[in-house]
Chain A
């Protein structure tokens, strides 16, 4: 496979809203595509729907094989028949975010602002979107299904930001919210990491001012470096040490050399090789302009700012039941940011549960095997159903 060729993702299941969407930046998107996957069956009373919000580089393929990578769905251990989010019981919808590159309207879509001959893509001219814009796009699809009230909205990391935005924007449209490994605003440190990723993309000679597809290339090196850097932030020092330690992968051409004589760059530490693999796999499924659009949306996210700087005001009188989950070794969205959120919810007298899961797996723990986390998700959802009188 030619890894520098522009991505062709083919057709994803989607719904088109011809009326478009008014974005917070003031731009009107003339037509809106929302790509999604769904699992389970919507009950006749339409009271069993759960929206799962994906993280930054995730997509709607939650619980099925990914069409590009062939890998299992990113949360197939959580969503499925008999799983904690049980599709025998719940109807689960996951949508590709606005600005993404897996079928929802984004920088790779054809531009609708009258510029060009109608065959031109947005690229870097795609209007800036916010997490709220993403959620308002999702709302349209939920209403399209005829759902008046969601059972729950669940998501981790940037998905958790969407969960919070859902709860604040549509509090009467959901029974429960599960923001996982997230924060009510993007911290300076997180903005800094995002900026390094963006600069890495800009620095790639194949970037071509964001119109790389016109040159039949993608800024693969820049995007891969951005991914490698970001991937470090998803792990923890303990996890890296446990997985790779200081182990070295010897260059086969250098195999005859004595153990001590390491070459400058041909022998690589296991951790380097792992990151390179992560970087190269990523560029095959992700678009650089989407990377920019979505990181910017995360950077702008600040729930309190939308409510006079007072986070509790965002949740005043909320009927939503919250379950906030953090992971002890997550330093990207640390427990302290979840605790800050929980205190704001307490100040708003909201019904909130808060669990910190003990793990050394870092931010990515919410995607990995954590039995306590599974039990928490399952138990919280059952409790909400119990409370709402749903059998």
Chain B
């Protein structure tokens, strides 16, 4: 399991219901089921990965974030996880809305387009940046909606989501030490990881 998946797993309470969108080889699902006693299910777009996961006994359906979330009922899960995929979906805002409709919490990770290396590349070469994270040329990249950490925070604010936890991590998923400053995180963090709650979770409970 990747290190950032371990960070995601740490955000999830044991024994809860989890939907992992883009579950890939099922490593996180397997971990959540075996070590945390979660009812963890997956959605995966790549049929080979689906077959592999199901053949390992994991409950995974073939589908994708844009088209299949609307078929789940409200509040069906405690956590809905979207790993490194937000930038590749057709309608990120709608996907986030669906995630927080069907789940009490959303856990989202995405590569940060505000990283200093990308900024410098754009500035000096005047061309779309190519790095180890952003490694496909513009004409064939699946990453059609890149955003920065500040962009994402702005969207959360606009949508009224409750940011319960966030962190910047480097490519290996190692936690990066810029937690106090969003601006620094946005400059030095290669990946971002957010735990979101619904609007009402941020408001103090009224008696």
- B90 interface residue (CB < 8 Å to A): no
- B58 interface residue (CB < 8 Å to A): yes
- A346 interface residue (CB < 8 Å to B): yes
Known: A343-B68, A347-B73. A383 touches B51 (CB 8 A): no
**Interface 0/1 of A339-377, CB less than 8 Å to B:** 000110011110111111110000000000000100110
Known: A351-B39, A351-B41. A379 touches B57 (CB 8 A): yes
- A142 interface residue (CB < 8 Å to B): no
- A211 interface residue (CB < 8 Å to B): no
Q: Give the chain A neighbours of B60 by CB distance below 8 A.
A: 353-354
Q: Give the chain A neighbours of B55 by CB distance below 8 A.
A: 372, 375-376, 378-380
Known: A376-B51, A379-B54, A380-B54. A353 touches B71 (CB 8 A): no
Q: Complex formed: what's the CA distance from A354 to B50 in Å? A: 8
Main secondary structure of the interface of A (DSSP, over half): helix
**Interface 0/1 of B45-70, CB less than 8 Å to A:** 00100110111111111110000100
- B72 interface residue (CB < 8 Å to A): yes
Q: Give the chain A neighbours of B59 by CB distance below 8 A.
A: 321, 351-353, 383
Q: Which residue of B56, B57, B72 is within 8 Å of A384 (Cβ)?
A: B57
What is the interface size of chain B, counting residues whose CB is below 8 A from a CB of the partner?
A: 22
Is A353 a contact partner of B61 (Cβ separation < 8 A)?
A: yes
What is the interface size of chain A, counting residues whose CB is below 8 A from a CB of the partner?
A: 27
Is B54 a contact partner of A376 (Cβ separation < 8 A)?
A: yes
Interchain residue pairs with CB less than 8 A apart (21): A323-B54, A342-B63, A343-B68, A346-B61, A346-B71, A349-B72, A349-B76, A352-B59, A353-B54, A354-B50, A354-B60, A354-B62, A354-B63, A355-B47, A357-B51, A372-B51, A378-B55, A379-B57, A383-B54, A383-B58, A387-B57
In the A-B complex, list the 9 residue pairs whose CB atoms are closest, starting with the nearest: A383-B57, A379-B55, A354-B61, A375-B55, A343-B71, A349-B76, A346-B71, A353-B54, A353-B59
In the complex, given contacts A355-B62, A379-B56, A383-B56, what are 16 additional A-B residue pairs having Cβ atoms less than 8 angstroms apart?
A342-B61, A342-B63, A343-B68, A346-B71, A347-B71, A351-B59, A352-B41, A352-B61, A353-B53, A353-B60, A353-B61, A358-B47, A372-B51, A380-B54, A383-B59, A386-B57
